[in-house]
Structure 1
Amino acid sequence: MISKTEQLPAFDRFIAIDWSGARGKRYAGIAVALCGAGDAAPRLVTPPAGWWSRTAVAAWLRDAVVGQGGVFGQGGALVGIDCAFSLPFAVAGRSLPDGAGVFDLWNEIERICADEPDFGGVPFTEHPLHGAGYWRGGPQPDHYQDPHRATERACRDEGLGSPQSPYKLIGSKQVGKGGLAGMRVLRALRAAAPDAVAVWPFDPVAPGRTVFAEIYPRLFLKQTGFGQRKIRDGADLDAALAQLGAGPLGVGGTVSDHDSDALVSAAGLRWLAQRPGLWQPVGLDDTARTREGWILGVGAPVPAASG
């Protein structure tokens, strides 16, 4: 949250992370892209040992924030992660104390999943109390309600895409496990650098802080005219980047959709960053600020793409 009288933050770097909640030691589904201010094309960050793990991403982010190692610069960074930062509290709140907020949820996820390696969140979905709302396999169970947060409904209503419910763990598009893993990472980063890190919209957004925000790559792709299509070609990638005011990357041939999602999202974050109303979107009420979170760019005035 940022008040109307506060100065909008000026970011030095824009980082987008295509995320994964899979079990294992490394994942082809994780990609990290970075760009600075201006209009240069974003670039992929090379992962250690050729593959990203969630632990490696968290370590890279932690070192950049805490160590000020030149990655984020003096003005902080805007970091977008493609995962839900919370759960629909109509379901999650049933198994939490009255008045609980998002940080209570994160603490409970960590308590249950602490022994799961690489920030995994699967044990939470299998917990006898907290896991009751999940659709984990087989035909849709009678109890399953397909719950969504207000930001997911608003995203759909604005024609920006249709995010899956984090309680649906079925199919290739399921996002629930990735969200739980992301919440564990955010909790660790926030604890490691409480004065340098803000997780929006739960923490104040202020100049000089590195801000973590939930993103939905489809929102940026819709703005570039690619609709529901994934970008898997270097020429298409350059065309999408141009729509977001970024120069061409110049990669020939095929591109993985994980890489293209991260690259387009990094450019998209820079494109959105100083738009009036971005940090006070329509629909961001107390429930979103303290419990459920919000997708950056949903409910905010969006400029026309560059064309």
Structure 2
Amino acid sequence: MPPRRFTRFAAFDWSGRAIARPPGITLAECSTGDAAPILIAPDRGWSRPAALDWLLAQAEAKTDLLVGIDFSPALPHADEGAYFPDWSETPSDARGLWALVDQLCAAEPHLSASTFTNHTETARHFRHRAGGMTSVGDRFEGSMGRLRVVERRCRALKLGNAVSCFNLIGASQVGKSSLTGMRLLHALAGRVPIWPFDAVPAHGPLIVEIYTTIAARAAGLTGSRTKLRDGPTLDTALPNLDTKPHTTLARYDDHATDALLSAAWLRHVSQDATLWTPAGLDQALAATEGWTFGIP
């Protein structure tokens, strides 16, 4: 049996850009039923602090909300037994990692996290750009970088090409958004539970990590078509998630469609018990690496 039922479903497409209001941050929401999700946006667009305030408001209201956020909540740990092997100050679990990211980036506004990779020890593990040049740390592994257990499983099941958070270069990199996401999770300070680091509460909101490609593929999109930017294609995908056509948007981009599809997908699969008890997820991973909801 799934752990509980929810009445509302939301999805954040996320961004790691070090500006006040990254245009990539997009939120879509829907309720039970089959109506299409709608976009929710402040007049000036989303900031990361505004997203934090929105989540805290859901906690205050005890909203029965399942919200997916498209970033990795932790770095790889299981492969080496540490986030940063051979460093005496490496955190022992995800909450310690969130605190470390927040501590090293405390001077940055907007919950940005650009300076995290400048630390003497952490920089050794990342591939990033510095001064217009590519910098590859001596502890960066292989051509791709280290992967979490769930990222390797995602690739093995051909659900998507999950990439390493230690790579900060290229259009597909997710490290920057994930590091800013860790600052968000630290700021929540347990006021909104995060699966699987926290137990699923009987009431109120719950956050899960999502990978928007999984939602797109569940909606029937394949290959490079998992990113769509027009209304007609969106309306061919939504029925596969038992969702009616959407209300026409003023502007289409893949951030908006990712959020809309992901919110509909969360509603569609939230009662699938297999997704709440994935193979390979144990207590150690639940404390250190977490898991992407939707990967069985």
Query: How does the TM-score come out when normalised to structure 1?
Result: 0.87
2:147 equivalent in structure 1? 148
Aligned to 2:106: 114
Shift in Å, 1:244: 0.6
Contact 1:238 1:250 in 2 (8 A): no
Corresponding position: 1:290 with 2:282: no
For the structure 1 residues 240 and 97, does the alpha-carbon distance in structure 2 shift closer, same or farther, using more than 3 Å as the test?
Answer: same
Q: What residue number does 2:118 align with?
A: 126
Q: Is residue 22 of structure 2 the alignment partner of residue 31 of structure 1?
A: no
Question: Residues of 2 paired with 1:125 and 1:144: CA distance?
Answer: 12
1:302 corresponds in structure 2 to none
Q: Which residue of the partner structure matches residue 264 of structure 2? A: 267
Question: CA 1:297–1:185 in 2, change beyond 3 Å: closer, same or farther?
Answer: same
Per the TM alignment, residue 267 of structure 1 is displaced from its structure 2 partner at its CA by 0.4
Residue range with higher mean Cα deviation, 210-219 or 124-133: 124-133
Q: Deviation per CA, 1:120-151: give whole Å up to 9, x if none.
A: 11111111112220001327565421100011
Residue 248 of structure 2 corresponds to 251
Q: Does 1:161 align with 2:160?
A: yes
1:8 equivalent in alignment to 2:3: yes
The whole-number CA distance in structure 1 between the counterparts of 2:68 and 2:279 is 20
Cα distance in 2 between the residues matched to 1:21 and 1:226: 26
CA contact (8 A) 1:233 1:253 kept: no
Using the alignment, how far apart are the partners of 2:88 and 2:265 within structure 1?
36
CA distance in 2, matches of 1:285, 1:99: 19
Is 1:80 paired with 2:75? no
Q: Deviations over 1:129-181 (max 9, x none)?
A: 12220001327565421100011111111111011100001111111111011
C-alpha distance in 2, partners of 1:57/1:167?
25
Q: What letter corresponds to residue 92 of structure 2 in structure 1?
A: A
- Could you say what secondary structure the match of 1:238 adopts? helix
Which residue is equivalent to 1:212? Answer: 207
What's the counterpart of residue 61 of structure 1? 55
In structure 2, give the amino acid aligned to 1:266.
Answer: A
**1:179 aligns to what?**
178
Equivalence for 1:43: 38
Contact kept in structure 1, 2:94 and 2:287, CA below 8 Å: yes
The 8 Å contact of residues 124 and 136 in structure 2, kept in 1 or not, is answered as no
User: Residue 252 of structure 1: CA displacement?
Assistant: 6.7
Paired residue for 1:277?
274
> Contact 2:127/2:166 (CA < 8 Å) preserved in 1?
yes
1:11 Cα deviation from its structure 2 partner: 0.8
* Contact 1:86–1:293 under 8 Å retained in 2: yes
Q: Is 1:222 matched with 2:213?
A: no
Q: 1:208 to 1:96 in 2, by over 3 A?
A: farther
What secondary structure is seen at the aligned counterpart in 1 of 2:272? coil
> C-alpha displacement at 1:250, in angstroms?
3.8
Moved more, 134-143 or 121-130: 134-143
- What's the offset of the Cα at 1:237? 0.8
Amino acid in the other structure paired with 1:269: L
Tell me how far 1:119 sits from its aligned partner: 0.8
Equivalent residue number for residue 102 of structure 1: 94
Counterpart-to-counterpart distance in 2, 1:135 and 1:218? 24
The residue number in structure 2 matching 1:305 is none
Q: Count residues in correspondence.
A: 283
Partner of 2:46: 52
Post-superposition Cα deviations, 1:90-138, rounded to whole Å, max 9, x if no partner, equal: 3624236578111111111111111111111111111111222000132
Q: Secondary structure at the match of 2:83?
A: helix
Distance 2:88 2:244 in 1: 47
TM-score, normalised relative to structure 2 = 0.90
Q: Secondary structure at the match of 1:107?
A: helix
Q: Deviations over 1:198-244 (max 9, x none)?
A: 11111001320311110000001112221232111101111111111
**In structure 2, do the counterparts of structure 1 residues 155 and 285 end up closer, same or farther at CA, with 3 Å as the change threshold?**
same
**Structure 2 letter corresponding to 1:57:** A
1:253 shift after superposition: 8.4
